[in-house]
Structure 1
């Protein structure tokens, strides 16, 4: 095993022997503007107690130049990931001078040069274990310390960290900024950002507490920054969480910075939260996009308590922060902001991620077994986030909302600035609620898999709720009548079920909606009568039942129980009437996926044409300037990539001849260009001319994708080779190249690379960062008609790294599902 892949066992032994108190990190970023300068100076001073004479300190960088142990310089013992230090006393000071490397993968200290103005921007991203790319540290969450950052940077830059500036001075044309020491933090949530960022300041006040708020982005994005709304959501969230948790926001200031080429949606660094720039659209944005941004702001804010104040001891209990933050993002959105549809969005879209992940052969309990860092990296998944949030919603219903929040308050009071495991939380919840929370934990947190629930009626008329993989559920069954073309709720019946088969007394209804109100985590099926009712009148249901029906239809289609033709027919008939844009966006994505993956080859062309017509028709019919119009236009652009029947209309949109009110903003424009490039109707010269008009970071990335999308063997081969071989590609540029290779589902152009893929992946996993390697393994996985070549690789590589095998196994399962669902369909779909 690589020394970079830390294990749970060895880190537990290290934290038992070492107690770190203070860490001082000095970074020399003065040369960052010079793109030829690969590295930066980093000096770390660690003060810690030790009960063993030898330990190691983590660092990944260009070089380790000097190591001092208790004022004595010692020989350097460095293997590229660990610095061994010997001769330790009971109390120690270790100073490590080293050279770090600027990142282009979003791991460590990422450097970005803005093509608009040539300015350089830096920011850090560490989770789960990349702070060691910037400083020498004890890279594990249970070794908290007070951190002091000192940064040397160009004098005209803003420099930020978790805390406010303690002092700053000018020296030799540079500024040296020292920040106040932090409260105890794990290394992975420390942060630094530097560059000529645009900044908006505000404050939040509650009683005697006043917190400085900052919203930052690149200077060239400043005209698009919706700072007022971001600040409003921030204030609403701080009000809500301070009241709910009865623990004052502890981290001083609250800066939120939107950064380029980001690998995540956001990261909860206390006092300096980082977000992807995707939350700053350069043109039109739907209210669903703003709702998603609000949810993420509140998700990260919840981490200030769940994760930052109280941190899991090891990554097994990653859910202790992520499941809670995912739940709180939706809960606080609905309770404290104008985005009151958060739970509808969660039911239809977020839980779909959980259901998909939970049906893979690599599924795992929410409280997972995480033996090492590579496993931890892959467990930032739909189980840890969305399933965890879904079952926490059940827990709130089980113990009661007041008891849940009182348990959280006691948890924070008992463990502030410390580390915990599952049992520490259960103790508090059990004491305050009087409920058997441990039995609930065993049923939901410590098992894997998702139950499917359906209604059966026997020959005697006895109704039975049947569930696969039985679990305890508290749920509601909604009974709806179809009247004058409308589905209207007659009543809800609340039930507790635990067994595989539960007799129930339910009157007849046109729609029997199992798990109405979305109280439980379960795939609920529609019976034939209910399916007929929603096929007629789905769009007349209220938002949450509508979300649950869309979810049920999608799950049944993925599982091969609902014919894809029937699903697509329902989408074409009812999606144009869908008023909730978050639900609509999810349905549009699922329909496009169904056509590309679940429709048999002999019917795919007809379904693509039908979908192209449907998206164009809905775009034209939508209200001028509406979110629906924009959503359908984006769907039309995507659909146009698989058919040249729309070339004339796409060009007309690019020329400004679209439906009234439709903004052809940069995002939509590049999507239309990518469609034309994919069908061979936009040349390399055309792409170059378009880039001249939008020579921005997003423009360059989009142009790269369009170029890689050209439907020639040479263009796809060039893109394929570059994806694997060009180590200078940033994370965003790699994604663009991969998207180009896959564009238009042109297997005829890329099937020849299937064997080459399996020749590449093992070496890539060992030589590239896990973030980049993961994108390659997932993005370029061959979408073949059989699993034979995948099975051969798995059989022939039993000792491949476990994390790599997991990714391949999951992709094989997705492929096998697609093959299975296609085989279950009639020979020709859509005729």
Structure 2
């Protein structure tokens, strides 16, 4: 599954509108009572009622049951809000079994159940079926279950979507980590791999897609029956079923048909080259790199509505968010992002689908590996450039921020249940793990790493593995004992910092050492291979260039570096040149001064990128006043020529500007004039940008995002009305909605009429959600009451994807006075949701709706909430902890900002 950092704060589809409030966290308590030792399946274990599957119980069941296959019959239509099916579960039951057999099935209706052709006693506990051990005999079992179930409306399980534009119904599945049992009854855990044979009865005009290609389609009145052969063995969370009147496009890769599916009402916006070119490039790269030919025979990609993540690696039928289909022109970075996601999901076909983790503690390796391999494929086999700079700015910073947060955790850690697993889709699981894997080719050697991966895939095909299986093959290939590396990097949390300490004599380096530190509470010091980059200003003083890049290994608190002794005394030292390592860099004073003086003169774009990141970190860590960075960024942004670096400066400027906005709102100091200068700057950069260029797209989006004063809101209104235009920028429907949202958020112009007009013109799903969002943003008490009531009292009337738009828009930061009357109700509602089983709604509500302000009082309140919510699910607790830490950082940043203002 692909979840990038921006998707933790808002859905891809919301990227085209203007505001979001951070999402967070997850958790689930232990749900198994163990009567004796769980290591044996002959030991009695009672499964407790829960929406999650417990690791201890799953471990027992994996010993209890083997040789699993499913024969599925599903009947679906375009009218009902529920579906029916029949599942035959074939498996082997061990001798001396003392445990009941439980079959996972979430909140459906059991019409009949037979075991080996006989009626038996069974019970159904809302989340699973229990067949008593006394009703079963060892050996081969054939259990047939006829059932009904309502479709899902939260983007998980078997989701139903009705296209508001044409009434067409679309169905798709999304199962990770524990939602396949919302389609059919079965053993829903990754280490009970099975083969799947499925027959689907559906409306005659629909397309049906699953893990294999259909062998026959037969007419049956106004329906058709699609028959799919038995698949290879794989875990149920990567099985899939997609159905509806999808538009389909075809291409070919070395004789294998590639297919792409999307809703009919989006077909006109699909640019197939954006999909098929990177698909074929990635196939060519992975087949060669892994030395294992793609194992699943066919490859489909389905673009699905209401999808919760970026994409999901269903075997041979990958699902993507509709956010990757734009109703206008994409920037190069947007097309690159899509190519990266395509490669990510394809990497999973080998690493995750062919070879699968045994339990969800291995989620990180599954996702980290796909993240790293996708970036490697884009860097080496695509049409895009500078991918590792994009990785550094995005994925790696997500990792650093998560690792530097109160919610950090070890990469490899116990996972008590599937509910806990759901909470681990974060910057550690994806970003840190991928960054750690990225350093391994430097540590072990690139070819040793590749051979180890290839051997692992060949050795464990169609099996489940543990961490030591993977690390063991890497160590064998490199001839290196990986025990200490594994302990330091995978089992211990925390982000280290390095800083150089050096002396020069007669213009040459005479002493040089790297000092490594660890954060309080996470004392591990690590060994890592990095490069020491030495930079010097030229004789004219107008350029700074890399003098040397020296690979070295450091470990412990202090490492003396002999390799650079005698080199020319540098103007700037960067001890992670080219970003080999995973570490935070604290620049020495001379290097920091040189960076600030010569930042645009450094001829290495990656170096400039990392220096700007260091400056951004300094503001976040309250070591640099936000106003100083805003002024520095404004002075240097126009002189930057690299697109990725410019994006970093713009994001850095925006983040620092947010602190000034908060300070102004809290009447600490008035930064309104400086804010307007940034608005003016972005408009100026937009007007100067080359027509149709990525820079122009960047400055347009930044200008719209930052504009909030009357002068610039007038400009946005004129853009919407066609009275102001920029050659090269087309104001497509999604851009129109971002402008309408701005007008409504700040009650500017004829904002109500603009919303009504736009909603009438755009009756698509995206249009409906955008219209709701724009209305919700209005700073009007009656609007807040209307939509708050929907979220609290009538959430079942809307899909979760729509509810998220409401929650994101209800209380923007400047509308905290309107939020105040609802504070007690929000805090009272969180425990109620925590008692339920809807983890998706719980996570969205706790992450989006938690009241907070950048004040010491709010920091104290959140600290108290951490205590009150300490026993709640991690979806709640992580959200509160993150909010508390972010408010603490904000308070410190504002304190430094106040000192800066007083000293000016």
TM-score of the two chains, using structure 2 as the length reference: 0.87
Equivalent-residue separation in structure 2 for 1:192 and 1:772 (angstroms):
24
Please report how far the alpha carbon of residue 159 of structure 1 lies from its aligned counterpart in structure 2 after TM superposition.
Answer: 0.6
Unaligned ranges ≥5, structure 1: none
Equivalent-residue separation in structure 2 for 1:471 and 1:394 (angstroms):
13
Alignment counterpart, residue 174 of structure 1, candidates 192, 217, 223:
223
Q: Is the 8 A contact 1:64 1:76 kept in 2?
A: no
Alignment counterpart, residue 762 of structure 1, candidates 827, 831, 847:
831
Other structure's SS at 2:897 match: coil
Q: How does 1:124-163 map to 2 (within 5 A)?
A: 124-163=173-212
Q: How does 1:358-397 map to 2 (within 5 A)?
A: 358-397=403-442
Other structure's SS at 1:792 match: helix
> Which residue of structure 2 lines up, in the alignment, with residue 553 of structure 1?
615
Unaligned ranges ≥5, structure 2: 1-30, 32-48, 519-524
Q: Is the 8 A contact 1:474 1:519 kept in 2?
A: yes
Please report how far the alpha carbon of residue 221 of structure 1 lies from its aligned counterpart in structure 2 after TM superposition.
Answer: 1.4
Q: Is the 8 A contact 2:121 2:131 kept in 1?
A: no
Q: How does 1:796-807 map to 2 (within 5 A)?
A: 796-807=868-879
> Which residue of structure 1 lines up, in the alignment, with residue 573 of structure 2?
512
Please report how far the alpha carbon of residue 563 of structure 1 lies from its aligned counterpart in structure 2 after TM superposition.
Answer: 2.2
Compared with structure 1, are the counterparts of its residues 658 and 527 closer, same or farther at alpha carbon in structure 2 (3 Å cutoff)? farther
Alignment counterpart, residue 699 of structure 1, candidates 752, 756, 767:
767
Q: Is the 8 A contact 1:524 1:552 kept in 2?
A: yes
Alignment counterpart, residue 851 of structure 2, candidates 782, 788, 791:
782
Equivalent-residue separation in structure 2 for 1:180 and 1:236 (angstroms):
29
Other structure's SS at 2:285 match: helix
Q: Is the 8 A contact 2:546 2:604 kept in 1?
A: no
Equivalent-residue separation in structure 1 for 2:436 and 2:109 (angstroms):
46
CA displacement 1:77-117 (0-9 Å, x = unmatched): 11110100121222111111121221221011111122222
Equivalent-residue separation in structure 2 for 1:123 and 1:614 (angstroms):
45
Equivalent-residue separation in structure 2 for 1:617 and 1:43 (angstroms):
64
Matched, 1:56 2:121: no
Compared with structure 1, are the counterparts of its residues 19 and 822 closer, same or farther at alpha carbon in structure 2 (3 Å cutoff)? same
Alignment counterpart, residue 651 of structure 1, candidates 717, 738, 741:
717
Q: Is the 8 A contact 1:260 1:276 kept in 2?
A: yes
TM-score of the two chains, using structure 1 as the length reference: 0.95
Equivalent-residue separation in structure 2 for 1:628 and 1:768 (angstroms):
46
Matched, 1:794 2:862: no
Q: Is the 8 A contact 2:740 2:751 kept in 1?
A: no
Alignment counterpart, residue 490 of structure 1, candidates 547, 551, 559:
547
Please report how far the alpha carbon of residue 769 of structure 1 lies from its aligned counterpart in structure 2 after TM superposition.
Answer: 2.0
Please report how far the alpha carbon of residue 729 of structure 1 lies from its aligned counterpart in structure 2 after TM superposition.
Answer: 2.3
> Which residue of structure 1 lines up, in the alignment, with residue 592 of structure 2?
531
Equivalent-residue separation in structure 1 for 2:242 and 2:198 (angstroms):
11
Other structure's SS at 1:183 match: coil
Q: Is the 8 A contact 1:266 1:276 kept in 2?
A: yes
> Which residue of structure 1 lines up, in the alignment, with residue 14 of structure 2?
none
Q: Is the 8 A contact 2:206 2:246 kept in 1?
A: yes
Q: Is the 8 A contact 2:153 2:159 kept in 1?
A: yes
Please report how far the alpha carbon of residue 187 of structure 1 lies from its aligned counterpart in structure 2 after TM superposition.
Answer: 0.6
Q: Is the 8 A contact 1:755 1:789 kept in 2?
A: no
Moved more, 413-422 or 424-433: 424-433
Q: Is the 8 A contact 1:757 1:780 kept in 2?
A: yes
> Which residue of structure 2 lines up, in the alignment, with residue 474 of structure 1?
529
Alignment counterpart, residue 638 of structure 1, candidates 699, 705, 710:
705
Please report how far the alpha carbon of residue 303 of structure 1 lies from its aligned counterpart in structure 2 after TM superposition.
Answer: 0.4
Other structure's SS at 1:650 match: helix
Matched, 1:749 2:818: yes
Other structure's SS at 1:27 match: strand
Please report how far the alpha carbon of residue 295 of structure 1 lies from its aligned counterpart in structure 2 after TM superposition.
Answer: 0.7
Equivalent-residue separation in structure 2 for 1:62 and 1:576 (angstroms):
60
Equivalent-residue separation in structure 2 for 1:739 and 1:417 (angstroms):
42
Please report how far the alpha carbon of residue 233 of structure 1 lies from its aligned counterpart in structure 2 after TM superposition.
Answer: 1.0
Q: Is the 8 A contact 1:45 1:94 kept in 2?
A: yes
Please report how far the alpha carbon of residue 724 of structure 1 lies from its aligned counterpart in structure 2 after TM superposition.
Answer: 3.0
Compared with structure 1, are the counterparts of its residues 459 and 624 closer, same or farther at alpha carbon in structure 2 (3 Å cutoff)? closer
> Which residue of structure 2 lines up, in the alignment, with residue 222 of structure 1?
267
Moved more, 518-527 or 304-313: 518-527
Q: How does 1:216-255 map to 2 (within 5 A)?
A: 216-255=261-300
Please report how far the alpha carbon of residue 606 of structure 1 lies from its aligned counterpart in structure 2 after TM superposition.
Answer: 4.4
Compared with structure 1, are the counterparts of its residues 730 and 133 closer, same or farther at alpha carbon in structure 2 (3 Å cutoff)? same
Please report how far the alpha carbon of residue 367 of structure 1 lies from its aligned counterpart in structure 2 after TM superposition.
Answer: 1.0
Equivalent-residue separation in structure 1 for 2:86 and 2:901 (angstroms):
64
Equivalent-residue separation in structure 2 for 1:692 and 1:73 (angstroms):
56
Equivalent-residue separation in structure 2 for 1:829 and 1:350 (angstroms):
34
Compared with structure 1, are the counterparts of its residues 733 and 593 closer, same or farther at alpha carbon in structure 2 (3 Å cutoff)? farther
Moved more, 255-264 or 765-774: 765-774
> Which residue of structure 1 lines up, in the alignment, with residue 24 of structure 2?
none
Q: Is the 8 A contact 1:265 1:276 kept in 2?
A: yes
> Which residue of structure 2 lines up, in the alignment, with residue 274 of structure 1?
319
Q: Is the 8 A contact 1:69 1:85 kept in 2?
A: no
The alignment of Structure 1 onto Structure 2 pairs a total of residues equal to 822
Matched, 1:680 2:747: yes
Question: Please, what is the CA RMSD of the aligned residues?
Answer: 2.1
Q: Is the 8 A contact 1:200 1:216 kept in 2?
A: yes
CA displacement 1:668-689 (0-9 Å, x = unmatched): 2211211111111153332111
Compared with structure 1, are the counterparts of its residues 581 and 702 closer, same or farther at alpha carbon in structure 2 (3 Å cutoff)? farther
> Which residue of structure 2 lines up, in the alignment, with residue 70 of structure 1?
116
Please report how far the alpha carbon of residue 536 of structure 1 lies from its aligned counterpart in structure 2 after TM superposition.
Answer: 4.1
Q: Is the 8 A contact 1:349 1:583 kept in 2?
A: no
> Which residue of structure 1 lines up, in the alignment, with residue 895 of structure 2?
823
Compared with structure 1, are the counterparts of its residues 198 and 287 closer, same or farther at alpha carbon in structure 2 (3 Å cutoff)? same
Compared with structure 1, are the counterparts of its residues 160 and 677 closer, same or farther at alpha carbon in structure 2 (3 Å cutoff)? same
Q: How does 1:561-640 map to 2 (within 5 A)?
A: 561-597=623-659, 600=663, 601=666, 602-603=668-669, 605-640=672-707
Q: Is the 8 A contact 1:59 1:137 kept in 2?
A: yes
Equivalent-residue separation in structure 2 for 1:19 and 1:452 (angstroms):
48
Please report how far the alpha carbon of residue 512 of structure 1 lies from its aligned counterpart in structure 2 after TM superposition.
Answer: 2.0
Please report how far the alpha carbon of residue 803 of structure 1 lies from its aligned counterpart in structure 2 after TM superposition.
Answer: 4.3
Compared with structure 1, are the counterparts of its residues 812 and 64 closer, same or farther at alpha carbon in structure 2 (3 Å cutoff)? farther
Equivalent-residue separation in structure 1 for 2:320 and 2:644 (angstroms):
20
Q: Is the 8 A contact 1:464 1:501 kept in 2?
A: yes
Moved more, 771-780 or 555-564: 555-564
Moved more, 449-458 or 595-604: 595-604
Moved more, 621-630 or 711-720: 711-720
Q: Is the 8 A contact 2:531 2:580 kept in 1?
A: yes
Other structure's SS at 2:406 match: coil
List structure 1 runs of 4+ shifted beyond 6 angstroms.
458-461
Please report how far the alpha carbon of residue 173 of structure 1 lies from its aligned counterpart in structure 2 after TM superposition.
Answer: 1.6
Equivalent-residue separation in structure 2 for 1:718 and 1:587 (angstroms):
39
Please report how far the alpha carbon of residue 774 of structure 1 lies from its aligned counterpart in structure 2 after TM superposition.
Answer: 0.7
CA displacement 1:624-678 (0-9 Å, x = unmatched): 12111111111111112x4334221111211221222222122222112111111
Moved more, 228-237 or 284-293: 228-237
Please report how far the alpha carbon of residue 236 of structure 1 lies from its aligned counterpart in structure 2 after TM superposition.
Answer: 1.0
Alignment counterpart, residue 250 of structure 2, candidates 164, 176, 201:
201
Compared with structure 1, are the counterparts of its residues 466 and 257 closer, same or farther at alpha carbon in structure 2 (3 Å cutoff)? same
